[in-house]
Structure 1
Amino acid sequence: MERVDRLPPPTDAALQDDVADHADACAAVPLLNCLLREVAEPLPGPGERPVYRLPGGRLLRVRGGRRPAEPEVRAADGDWHRVGHTELVKLVAEELRRHTGLTNHELPTEMTDSRDAVAALLTARARATPPEDPYLRSEQSLLTGHTHHPAPKARGGGPHAGWLPYAPEAYARFPLTLLAVRADTVVEEGDTAALDALGDAPPGYRLLPAHPWQLDLTATALAPAFADGRLVRLGTTAFPTWPTAAIRTVYAPEYLPGHDLFLKFSLDVRITNDIRRLWRHDLLKLRRTDTAVTEAFDAIGSPATWLGDRGYRTADFAFEELAVVVRDGLRDRALPGATPLLAAALVEGFPDNPLAATTDPAAWWEAYLAAVVPPVLTAFADDGVVLEAHLQNTLVAVDADGTPVQALFRDAEGVKLLPDTPRTAGWERLVYCLVVNHLLEIAGALTEHHPGFAPWPAARAALARHDLPEIPALLTAPALPAKTNLLLRWTGADGAAARYRPLANPLLGV
């Protein structure tokens, strides 16, 4: 797999051309994945360049694999013509209009913005120093990002200078802005004591950290509160924070000596399918959801753990805009001597990636499955908890040899509880997140790095060990549910209204 994370410093026009080529390639991968999975018809035939029929009848071929590349369209004269990223965006838009009968002027712009963001990230990254901590390197490694989203790196269309200082992919780190909020306007629930340790608030006020990018985005809305004294700027934290792959969630490894934590903020920017604001309805159910997951993990009794969302604090006059969630850190959760790594980074690739480095892929995969699969299925079976165990919500801790020994799950906002969610819908969501979004991608990366390795017999065995009534159907179903992010965005559906299409089940016939 071609590496894009060790570019030399950009010193001339030739290097800028190289950055442009890398950006085109990175942006094409998830867009092609979406197009091929959601609307294209694969045609039979041998070769390393599979051919697909598009809704309008045109033929498209690509260099195959989990990272499709070098798209070509067959012309009327029978020749294949290479399609660059600009032409690919136009092609996707035309085919979606034919497929759905709908027009969408917003999504093609997002696709282009996503590609341009990658170019800006590559250029900034070439001048930056990656963090020494392997955990932070993994969180900040996702240049391509979501493997099946048409615009995974779009940042709301604003100027690059507005968001680059806060971009994890550019190895950013920054202090948080500290605000004082008038005490009679504070709304909070759960354990938010960690916020009071970030600084000192004047009498009659409470401390509230803020993401500086969010303050820029909401400056006009918050101006009256600053003017009348409901909000006061106190300066910044005495320590830097590192943005994680989620962008709006930051990690403070030393907010107090020997203590770490995560803080999750609102961010009024569309990232993948949603505006990433901490919505009121999610905050109001946060404690119930987090308590249910915490109790489920306490009962599991395995090394797996839950990074709890302890509580939230905000102001009543800007409930969603200024909300911050306090999340458990890693020090008290990861096994001693183990190094947590973001699961999505194992797929994307980063220096010292244990998935690529292992000399025994079968043993590594068995250990990975043993860490990740049982807690997800047990929480569902015993407590009706549907974890959103996709690649960005899962950390996998490895020992000194790089072998997985523990899974750490996060983000109560994405968790569903039965019976609030019907069991059938909850199981479909679990299968998509765990099997399609997660295990399928890890298995593909492992096979790519270790040709000839067959991952699915072990995965089938790991799932079959669990006495869930849904497991037999999962192992014999011809298809699995694959979320249609391209069609979701094209038709303007709400990001929470997941829609799925059948994807050939790799567990079948193993």
Structure 2
Amino acid sequence: MHRPSTAEAEAADELAVVRPSLVPRYTDALPGARAAVLTRLWRGLAHDPLPWIVRRETRRDGLGLRLADGRWLYGPRADPYATAAYVTAVRLGEVVHDDPARLMTELAVPHSEVFAAELAHSVASLALSRAGRWNHPRQWPERDWEWERRVVDGHPFHPNCRSRPGFSVAEQLAYGPEHGPVVELGLLPVPEAECLVSGVWPGWLREAGRVVVPVHPWQAAHVLKRTGERRPAAHPLRAHPLMAHPLMALRTLALPDGPHVKTALSARLTSSVRDISLGSVAASAALSDFGEAVAARTDGLLHTTRTLGAVAAGSPDLAAVLRESPEVYAAPGERVVPVAALATTELPHSPAWSVRFARLALTVGLRLLELGVALEAHGQNLLVVLSPDGDPVRLVYRDLADLRIGPARLARHGVPLPEELPARMVTDDERTLRRKLFGSLVAGALAGTAGSGPALRAALEGAVRDLPRTPDLTALLDEPLPAKALTLMRLSPRTPGDQWAKLPNPLRYESL
């Protein structure tokens, strides 16, 4: 019988107090959550360039990993593009492990103790998400935020797919989109002279020489240690509090009939602390205009959501961005669906549909890459516009802050480089540009939608036949597929920036 981890037991104890009716469903969800996280971890162990794995040996019954200390770790063959939880246990020496956190503890490699705690939290949070998921109707949602509620399991390939350290069970139920809450944002007024403002900050978030900054309630309680000021009963922001629906990113929320609000959230979710840098606020207006200009070169196949205004009150911990809802790019009868939510529909199960979607995504991504713009086109940033019949007709891209932009490529096409861009976004290194696009779009969005290596291969084979044979496409067809080495990155906390794995090229899947 499995002994619950400390994180699992603590979550159960909290749940018994705040939502006792969910305890049986949470308990029932734990084995599946462990398998889901273990599957993601096994992918990283099998494919990330981890320095303490010295040999990988494919066997008839699976895969063996030889550790630097001489031990062997055995498990099934690892499909790097699989999203189903197919790894229920692995064997370290003679001991079988079905708990990813305990496995990482027993591996006893550098920084494994902290990572093991994150894995335990990921399991507990995933079981909670599955237990308390919002019961969506069978018909397709009308609103964009309703689609985002459907993404229960988080990142399809990250072992920390649901890790939300610092969030209590009550806070996860109150703020996690999969639980279907409506969140009241805090409103903190700051003297305008102390604020960095980019774009147009609206009048309804201003008062008497002060800028009113929307604040996530978790941030207000745990980081800022303050809540919004009390206002007179007749004040419009008290009479009509700012209520919003949380999206997949957790820190970004959709106002019922208005823009999306991206708030600062200084918590580590999956890999990164979710604040809003001062540089991204300063560049937001120029970057928004730039995104709109390059999207116009895709013959209507891509729209980027415009940043309406951004503000930072002297710190990344107190900042906010107002951004268009992707819904504005849908014609009557169309739906705008985050790519991560496609797996909750029947669409990816049609091979013909998968080919059409892959062709649309690659056409747009490669065209922009040729121009010098590499999208971070993972399943959260990239949305697809579906016709009333469900056909993929256009794409919408949001959150431009993680683009990589090549000045030399831009210059060849006569596209000016905005002066305000942060230096980290600008590079002419072709490997960096290709990694950004291929790692997010192909190894991320398309793989997550396909759900397996063979399905991804079939979608790509049909999609690339008619695409222009550019050097970028040749690299995609012939070279290993880059993907962020998510497990390595969590075990290398002192190494800044992204680290990369080379996955078997899905178009040569027989080599796996």
**Is TM > 0.5 for Structure 1 vs Structure 2?**
yes
Distance 1:373-1:253 versus aligned 2 partners, 3 A rule: farther
Asked whether 1:24 is paired with 2:34, we answer yes
Inter-partner Cα distance in structure 2 for 1:335 and 1:164: 34
Please state whether the residue corresponding to 1:69 is helix, strand or coil: coil
Asked whether 1:72 is paired with 2:90, we answer yes
Inter-partner Cα distance in structure 2 for 1:113 and 1:132: 30
Q: Deviations over 1:464-484 (max 9, x none)?
A: x2353332233222x121211
Q: Which residue of 1 aligns with 2:347?
A: 354
Inter-partner Cα distance in structure 1 for 2:468 and 2:32: 43
Shift of 1:20: 2.2
Name the aligned partner's letter for residue 303 of structure 1: L
Distance 1:168-1:54 versus aligned 2 partners, 3 A rule: farther
Distance 1:253-1:261 versus aligned 2 partners, 3 A rule: same
Name the aligned partner's letter for residue 261 of structure 1: P
The count of residues paired between Structure 1 and Structure 2 equals: 458
Match of 1:204 among 209, 219, 236: 209
Shift of 1:10: 7.8
TM-score in terms of structure 1 length: 0.80
Inter-partner Cα distance in structure 1 for 2:236 and 2:506: 54
Inter-partner Cα distance in structure 1 for 2:33 and 2:265: 25
Inter-partner Cα distance in structure 1 for 2:127 and 2:240: 31
Q: Which residue of 1 aligns with 2:221?
A: 216
Contact 2:64 2:73 (8 Å CA) reproduced: yes
Shift of 1:446: 9.5
Inter-partner Cα distance in structure 2 for 1:389 and 1:126: 26
> Equivalent residues in 2 for 1:301-450 (5 A)?
301-316=299-314, 319-346=315-342, 349-350=343-344, 352-356=345-349, 361-382=350-371, 384-419=372-407, 420-424=426-430, 425-444=432-451
Please state whether the residue corresponding to 1:51 is helix, strand or coil: strand
Inter-partner Cα distance in structure 2 for 1:210 and 1:11: 31
> Equivalent residues in 2 for 1:25-64 (5 A)?
25-38=35-48, 39=50, 42-46=56-60, 50-55=62-67, 56-62=70-76
Shift of 1:387: 1.0
Q: Which residue of 2 aligns with 1:501?
A: 501
Contact 2:198 2:283 (8 Å CA) reproduced: no
Inter-partner Cα distance in structure 2 for 1:187 and 1:476: 46
Asked whether 1:486 is paired with 2:476, we answer no
Shift of 1:25: 2.9
Q: Which residue of 1 aligns with 2:166?
A: 157
Distance 1:397-1:46 versus aligned 2 partners, 3 A rule: farther
Name the aligned partner's letter for residue 398 of structure 2: R
Q: Which residue of 2 aligns with 1:299?
A: 297
Contact 1:177 1:235 (8 Å CA) reproduced: no
Shift of 1:375: 1.8
Unaligned runs of 5+ in 2: 1-18, 408-425
Match of 1:184 among 182, 188, 193: 193
Q: Give RMSD over aligned pairs.
A: 3.2
Distance 1:135-1:104 versus aligned 2 partners, 3 A rule: same
Inter-partner Cα distance in structure 1 for 2:328 and 2:172: 32
Shift of 1:212: 1.5
Please state whether the residue corresponding to 2:132 is helix, strand or coil: helix
Distance 1:299-1:482 versus aligned 2 partners, 3 A rule: closer
Q: Which residue of 1 aligns with 2:269?
A: 271
Distance 1:421-1:335 versus aligned 2 partners, 3 A rule: farther
Inter-partner Cα distance in structure 2 for 1:161 and 1:504: 41
Inter-partner Cα distance in structure 2 for 1:115 and 1:28: 9
Name the aligned partner's letter for residue 208 of structure 1: V
Unaligned runs of 5+ in 1: 1-8, 255-259
Q: Which residue of 1 aligns with 2:113?
A: 105
Shift of 1:321: 1.7
> Equivalent residues in 2 for 1:129-168 (5 A)?
132-133=141-142, 135-168=144-177
Contact 2:201 2:309 (8 Å CA) reproduced: yes
Shift of 1:345: 2.0
Inter-partner Cα distance in structure 2 for 1:399 and 1:364: 12
Shift of 1:366: 2.8
Q: Deviations over 1:277-331 (max 9, x none)?
A: 0012222233333322211012222232111223302323xx3222111111133
Name the aligned partner's letter for residue 501 of structure 2: R
Contact 1:104 1:491 (8 Å CA) reproduced: no
Contact 1:30 1:144 (8 Å CA) reproduced: no
Contact 1:134 1:341 (8 Å CA) reproduced: no
Contact 2:58 2:77 (8 Å CA) reproduced: no
Q: Which residue of 2 aligns with 1:248?
A: 251
Contact 2:461 2:507 (8 Å CA) reproduced: yes
Q: Which residue of 1 aligns with 2:102?
A: 90
Q: Deviations over 1:223-267 (max 9, x none)?
A: 8x979xxxx99548546311111111111231xxxxx31111110
Inter-partner Cα distance in structure 1 for 2:472 and 2:208: 57
Name the aligned partner's letter for residue 454 of structure 1: A
Contact 1:308 1:412 (8 Å CA) reproduced: no
Moved more, 388-397 or 64-73: 64-73
Contact 2:224 2:317 (8 Å CA) reproduced: no
Distance 1:70-1:402 versus aligned 2 partners, 3 A rule: same
Contact 1:267 1:277 (8 Å CA) reproduced: yes
Q: Which residue of 1 aligns with 2:478?
A: 476
Distance 1:210-1:236 versus aligned 2 partners, 3 A rule: farther
